[in-house]
Structure 1
Amino acid sequence: MNPYHPQEFFDLSNSPAASELFKDITYVWEGVAALPSFIERIIEPKILGEVEEGAWVEPGKVQMEPGSRVERGAVVRGPTIIGRNTVVRSKAYIRGHVMVGENCTIGHGVEIRQILVLNNSQIAHTNLVTTCLIGNRVLVAYLAGLLNYRLDGKPICVKINRGEEKQEFPTELIHLGACVGDDSKIGAMTILQPGTVVGQRCIIYPQISVSGYVPNDSIVKLKSQPVEVIPRNQSLK
């Protein structure tokens, strides 16, 4: 069994398009490179949702399904697919090669490019998320950093550390963000380093840096909290 197959991270039963994307993919992170050409092939540009006055949606390059909404001040470039009842908040910037599922929220001030977001997920306000795969019912909280580029410019290698098992998977990709499995929560101001792979039902606490592989049902937090809490009257002495 391949523990890094897309089906080990995502329930695709209610996402037929995403299921097609992953049909011939061996490792989940390979979906990032496959996403642009896949979206270009399947997109059916149409506006069946609401575009508020003051929003801009690139003509002929965006597919908006019924119940979706792009709020005033948002910019949506194509090719982009926005699922049913998904909201793109004010001042969000969608840069293209994006596929967002149903009942999702792309928050205020969020910038996204070349990502897949499955159903019922939220990317909270003021986030930059590019070249990533986001599962169902995922929360990416405020100011989380899903990084996708090494400072030395070298191709990104996915590193897996499962107890005594250590593996490296070279990708030849200069830009590769995170893969986040279903029902996982990424805390505010947390950093996911390039090529991080997070399993299902994980909780990653705020304000920490994470890299490599996080197995299903994990909680990631600091070992100690260097904060002292004292009564207010004592602090005035």
Structure 2
Amino acid sequence: MNYFSDTYFPLLEKFTHNGIFQNIKQVWDPLKNLNKIIAKILAEDATGNPIESVSGLTIDRSSSVKGIIVKGWIKLETSIISHDLKIKIDSGTTLEPTAIIKGPSVIGKNNDIRQGSYIRGNVIVGNNCVIGHCTEIKNALLMNYVEAGHFNYIGDSILGSYVNMGAGSRLANVQFRGLQEKMNDTINDIEISIENKLIATGLSKLGSVIGDNVEIGCNAVLSPGTLIGKDNWIYPNCTVSKGFHPPGHFISPSEHKLKSRPK
């Protein structure tokens, strides 16, 4: 895990599920098997009261939903779990009305899941995170103290600890498709250039990997296949191209070039 820790996640050891990053080759590899990873987490830690024991939740087990809709203001005093929905939410987490959570999803302690948020499944959230109004998350892993408070999209992405997403910032996960792809209803796999070498990701959908302590300004858009090292600042209204952006820089919206970050 040394390369991943040094480049992206120096706080990885504080993330409850840090074993996800053992024995992988590329930093995005966990996204390929999040459903299996979540199943393993639920099998190893099945503690918690039944979701049915909490008032203020509407539970929908239909095949098209398999999730919960929050109807009231809820502060969880204990963890809750549903094995058939494949959802676990830990104690201290606050759920606000109209939030939707679909399984499989594992949500840690002391999170704020706010009004109008949509967790679409295959999602792991660490501790002390904010999933805010009109924020949508699918097939993604968020570590600790992530703030996605207002109108954010997080698809097929990994976010380290203390990442802040400004209002309206989005992590795009599908690249432009040619006519043949559209006619055949296919999506070509994303390739990423790292140190002048083109790497096949094996993923047709890949958003971003965001290192610890990254600031993303309001209305910034990160292109599919964007890798952001730790301690970067991305200015508001910036479009960030895919590829690897090393740690400790800031990206300016006027020039779209990396510059040394002031110390």
- Say whether the fold is shared (TM-score over 0.5): yes
How do 1:194-209 residues align onto structure 2 when only pairs under 5 Å count? 194-209=224-239
How do 1:1-237 residues align onto structure 2 when only pairs under 5 Å count? 3=3, 5=4, 8-10=7-9, 11-17=11-17, 19-43=18-42, 44=46, 46=48, 53=56, 58=68, 59=82, 60-152=85-177, 153-160=187-194, 165-211=195-241, 212-223=243-254
Q: Give the 3-state SS of the residue equivalent to 2:109 in structure 1.
A: coil
- Please tell me whether the aligned partners of residues 70 and 87 of structure 1 are also in contact (alpha carbons under 8 angstroms): yes
Using the size of structure 2 for normalisation, the TM-score is 0.76
Q: Give the 3-state SS of the residue equivalent to 1:124 in structure 2.
A: strand
**Mapped partners of 2:170, 2:224: distance in 1:** 10
Q: Give the 3-state SS of the residue equivalent to 2:145 in structure 1.
A: coil
**Mapped partners of 1:71, 1:45: distance in 2:** 23
Cα distance, 1:6–1:150 mapped onto 2, change above 3 Å: farther
Corresponding letter in the other structure for 1:12: L
- Please tell me whether the aligned partners of residues 100 and 117 of structure 2 are also in contact (alpha carbons under 8 angstroms): yes
Which runs of structure 1 show a deviation greater than 4 angstroms over 4 or more consecutive aligned residues? 47-52, 54-57
What residue ranges of structure 1 are gaps of 5+ in the alignment? Answer: 225-237
Cα distance, 1:47–1:221 mapped onto 2, change above 3 Å: farther
Using the size of structure 1 for normalisation, the TM-score is 0.84
Cα distance, 1:2–1:66 mapped onto 2, change above 3 Å: closer
What residue ranges of structure 2 are gaps of 5+ in the alignment? Answer: 60-66, 69-81, 178-186, 256-263
Q: Give the 3-state SS of the residue equivalent to 2:23 in structure 1.
A: coil
**Mapped partners of 1:52, 1:192: distance in 2:** 39
Cα distance, 1:139–1:42 mapped onto 2, change above 3 Å: same
- Please tell me whether the aligned partners of residues 134 and 180 of structure 1 are also in contact (alpha carbons under 8 angstroms): yes
- RMSD in angstroms over aligned alpha carbons? 2.5
**Mapped partners of 1:74, 1:26: distance in 2:** 35
